[in-house]
Structure formats: structure tokens, C-alpha cells
Amino acid sequence: YVTSSNLPTIYALGTPAGTKSAIAILRVSGSQAPHIYESLTKQRITKLKPRFAHVDQIYSINNNLQSEPRSLLDSPLVLYFPKPNSFTGEDMIEFHLHGGKAIIDAVIKSISNLHDPNNLINIRYSEPGEFSRRAFQNGKFDLTEVESINDLINAETETQRKYVVSSFNGKNKMIFTQWRTNLVSAMAKLTALIDFADDNEMENDSYLLNEIETEVVRMKEQIIKFTDQLNKSKILIDGIKLVLFGSPNVGKSSILNCITSEELAIVSDIPGTTRDSINSVIDINGYKVVIIDTAGIRNKSDDPIEKIGIRKAKQKFQEGDICLLIIDSTNASIDSTLLEMVQSQDKDNMKQLVVVLNKTDLVSSQELTQIKNQIENSLSSISPLITTVSCKTQDGIQQLLSMLTKQCRDLTTTQEGVEPIIMSQRVNDILTNDILYGIDEFLRNKESQNRDLIILSESLKYSIDGIGKILGDAVGLDEVLNVVFSKFCIGK
Ligand code: GDP
Ligand code: ZN
């Protein structure tokens, strides 16, 4: 890497740009940070006690062509973090400005006027992710931690926040480091075998080789379990898809309204939705849920428009993680098309099905019990959860929501009840394409007729390098880094 002192000094707003706010924080990082402070305030940097807040006055800095006098710009709070004890590991200064656009613009203009290539004063606005990139390059964080900073900032719901935080606390880093230690030790044993192959008896060889294999198999199990946890987190980020379907007029839209008015809407409308299905994204007890309201399904196969509607609804049903089959209590028959749809489910891709009996305000409790039994009988092959609601009186909506919360939890925990892990797709890809690939190559070659110890060792090396890519300490890393930091926005 280029040493810190050769890098340009960067600055950026750490708070959102383009909105009015009480405070705007401008961060500066690099060897010129003290110079920027001294130029803006006409004070010496030595005046600042590290990591203490100071109130200072800052003045405009003109470029060479301007001859106006310097004017007072703002009285910000200033914090100084001398290297290496800062976020980036470089000298850093934070200016807590008053958050008006004119102030921010004037301060930024002044700092940019300090840039002077002739005097080797290299100062520029930061690129996306550049602060975090420097933190990483100066050993403040490994790549997984840096990526979690990004995930943390992007977290919209409580569950996302919770699982990202545990990643940020270095838990995953410890796991990866342990895997690497184990793989390196297996590879060392293998190297010993290669070096002393001629001196040893064949039986000894195969004994040691089996021992290595046992270890590798154990590792593989752990890694697969970890990828399961990662895969479970995908729907935490993308949202759990909840499909509402049922015959026309059973109350699909009404239930959608009931649920969305109870819960916090993350996005009210997703652009690009069609006439016959509306998606809304809400937060149900910490879970991001995308609700898909389908057009009513009616079994009138002669009507071409209806046919399209049915096909689309079937498609939506397939895409859903949880499906609510809504039935009108006053007309509690299940349409044959619907019945077929839920009963002909792919065994590997079973939906969590909830039958919702709506409009309970229109029937007596005896009638309701009878209807429930009837539904249970006709769906006995899949024994779904059944619940009752009235959109009119709001009766049962809370029970429905807690039922949905439980299903969200089930969907995001593994079969052993292990909680999800949130990490980037990059990590997920490396786990499969590098680490597990290398392990599988090892196991395959070990069984091969003319096995070659060198190839076995190369396979393990492949896995070990994969871990290096994840943590960010492998060779040839620039490509990896560009992928990671391009996802960041400016000021991080
Ligand atoms: P969709 O076609 O399945 O989306 O059904 P809608 O949500 O548009 O509802 C159809 C009709 O049923 C509307 O007139 C609603 O007001 C009415 N409705 C929906 N839910 C209830 C309910 O719980 N009780 C009563 N009494 N009427 C309801
Ligand atoms: Zn509707």
C-alpha cells in the first residue's frame, strides 16, 4: 500500500448532505488535517486537546485570485483525533458545523482552496467508502467488520440491526480465523507427509491422511452450517414475502390495510407494480415484510383476462415465503383453483400457509366453529394454521400479526434454531466458490485412485486463500477491495 502520508487528505460530510439539520459533521482525515484546522481557525493545532470538544471560529479561505478579506463562516465544535487513535488511523478532525447549506458550502469551498499541488498540499473530497478503506488499510478493522459498518448504516429493521451488530463485534472474524488455523494445521501435516513420504511406511501415511481428512470433514460441516445461517439472513435484508390470495371480495385489500395501518411502513409503494398486485414493505415486529396483494382468483377458465390473473396469482404464490389464504366466513367454500394450488405444492419448497377466515363479525361463533372444521377437513392433507379476523372490528388482527411474527422467526432461523448471520454476498460467494470448493476438491482427490499429495495440499491452500480474501489479508487484494468499497457512499 501507499503509505498514509502519500495519500491525499480527504474530507466529507459524515451527516446527510442536501437536507437542513441542526448539525452537519465534516470529517477530515490525513496528514494535512492539522494544516486545514490551522488555516481555517488561525489557531495552532497544539491548542486542541485530543478527543476533547473545543469551540472555535472558522474563517473563509480564498483562492489565489480572490483578494477579499477573510470572513467568519461559523463557530463549530471541533474534535481532534491524532493518529493512530482515530477511526481511519490517520490524523482526523471533526468540525460540527451548524447544518445550513450555505455554511457547509462555504466551509467546503474554503478547504478545497487549500489544495495546492505546487506545495505538495494534496486535499480533496472523499470518494465513496474512502474513510472505511483507510481504516481497513491501517489495520483498524478487517474486511468483514468494514462491511458490517455498511450493513449497519443500511439496517432498516430491528432484526437486521441485531444480527449486523453481532457481526461487527468481531464474532465472525474469530470464526474465520479459527477455520484458517485448522486448515493451516491440516496443510502443515500434509506438507510433512510430502516431505517425508519416502522415509515412511505406507500404513503410517494413510493413518495421518485419514486424520487430516477427518479434520477437513469436520470443517466442512461447520462451514455448511455457517452458510445456512448466512442464507437465512437473505430474507431479513430483502424482506419476507407475504402473499395474500383468495377469491374476489373476501377482503384481501382490507386485510392488507389492517396490517399496514398497525405496522410501520418502510416504503409505501414500490414503483413498477402492476394493476393486479400491489407491494408494500412493512416492519412486523422487527422483520421486514413485503406484502403482495394478488388479484382475486376465480375459476372461470373461459375468460382470458381471468386466466392471466390466475397464472399471475399462481406465480406470486410460488414466490411467497408466507401465504395467507383468505376466506370469507359468510361464504366459506374454497375455490377449486385455490385448493389445487395449495395442495400441489413442491415438497422442497413448501410455503408457510395461513388460512384467514375474514368477516367474522357477520357470523355467529357456532357458525364460525363449524366453518373452521369444514376448512380443516378440506385442507387436512396440509394441515395449515387457521386464524379468524374481522377487518371491520379489527378482531383477531393482533393474533394474526403475532402468528406472522412467529413464522418470520421460523423462516430466519436454521433447523437447529440457530440465528441468522448477516454478511455480504461477497463473503457468501467466497465461502462457496473458494473455501468449500477447495475442501471438496481435497475430499474428491483423496478418494481418487492415483491421488497426489501435492494436489491435496493445493486444494487446502485454495480454501485458506479464500479465508484471506474474506478477512482482507490475502495477496492480490485490490480487486476484492474495489468490490467492497464501491458499495459505500461518500463520507463513510
Ligand atoms: P378483496 O377483493 O379480496 O380485496 O376484498 P376487499 O378488501 O375489497 O373487500 C370486499 C368487501 O368486503 C368490501 O366491501 C369490504 O368492506 C368488505 N369487508 C372486508 N372485510 C370485512 C369484514 O371483516 N367484515 C365485513 N363486514 N366486511 C368486510
Ligand atoms: Zn382487493
Q: Write the pLDDT tens digit of every residue in 42-71.
A: 999 999 999 999 999 999 998 866 677 889
pTM of the model: 0.70
**What is the distance between the alpha carbons of residues 161 and 143, in angstroms, rounded to a whole number?**
18
Q: Which pLDDT belongs to residue 273?
A: 37
* Portion of the chain with pLDDT greater than 70, in percent: 84
Question: Do you find a cis peptide bond into 84, omega within 30 degrees of 0?
Answer: yes
Enter the C-alpha cell of residue 429.
Answer: 460467494
pLDDT confidence of 3, banded at 50, 70, 90?
A: very low
Q: How far is the CA of 356 from the centre of ligand 2 (A)?
A: 15
Angle, helices 202-238/397-412, rounded to nearest 10 degrees: 150
What pLDDT shows up at residue 117? Answer: 80
Q: Quick one: pLDDT band at residue 157, thresholds 50, 70, 90?
A: confident
Q: Which letter does DSSP use for residue 6 in this model?
A: G
Q: Which of 260, 324, 325, 391 to mutate to test the pocket of ligand 1 (most atoms within 8 A of CB)?
A: 391
What are the C-alpha distances in Å from 168 to residues 88, 146, 172, 413, 423? Answer: 16, 8, 8, 20, 10
Q: Which three cell numbers stand for residue 263?
A: 405496522
Distance 276 CA to ligand 2 centre (A): 9
| Residue-level pLDDT at 1 | 36
CA gap 275, 277 in Å, rounded: 6
pLDDT of residue 296: 57
- How far apart are the CA of 438 and the centre of ligand 1, in A? 57
What's the CA-to-centroid distance between 288 and ligand 2, angstroms? 22
Neighbours of 491 (CB within 10 A): 22
Provide CB contacts within 8 A for 155, sequence distance 6+: 161, 164
Neighbouring CB atoms inside 10 A of 403's CB total 19
How confident is the model at residue 470, as a pLDDT?
A: 87
DSSP class of residue 26? E
The protein residue with its alpha carbon nearest to ligand 1, atom 14, reads: 249
Residue owning the nearest CA to atom 27 of ligand 1: 359
In the predicted structure, residue 268 carries a pLDDT above the cut 50: no
**Phi, psi values for residue 434, rounded to 5°:** -115, -60
pLDDT grade for 448, boundaries at 50, 70 and 90: confident
C-alpha to C-alpha distance for 364 and 299, rounded to whole angstroms:
29
Q: What is the reported pLDDT for 482?
A: 59
Q: Which residues pair with 58 in a beta bridge?
A: 74
30 neighbors 90 (Cβ within 8 angstroms): yes
For 395-419, what is the mean pLDDT? Answer: 87
Q: What is the mean pLDDT of the chain?
A: 83
* % of the chain at pLDDT higher than 90: 37
Q: Is 89 helix (H, G, I), strand (E, B) or coil?
A: coil
Contacts of 66 (CB under 8 A, 6+ apart): none
Compute the average pLDDT of residues 134-158.
84
Q: pLDDT of 365-380, one tens digit each?
A: 999 999 999 888 888 8
For residue 274, the model assigns a pLDDT of 38
Q: Whose CA is nearest to atom 17 of ligand 1?
A: 251
How many Cβ atoms sit within 10 Å of the Cβ of residue 101? 12
Residue 488, pLDDT > 60, answer: no
By residue count, the chain amounts to 492
Q: Which residues are near ligand 1 (CB < 6 Å)?
A: 246, 248-254, 296, 358-359, 361-362, 390-392
Residue 264 has pLDDT above 90, yes or no: no
Kindly tell me the burial class for residue 478, based on how many C-beta atoms sit within 10 Å of its own C-beta (0-12, 13-18, 19 or more). exposed
Mean pLDDT along residues 388-397 = 93
Q: Is the pLDDT of residue 450 over 70?
A: yes
What does the pLDDT average to over 323-342? 81
Kindly give the number of the ligand 1 atom that is closest to the alpha carbon of 362: 26
Residue 345 Cα, ligand 2 centroid: separation in angstroms?
Answer: 24
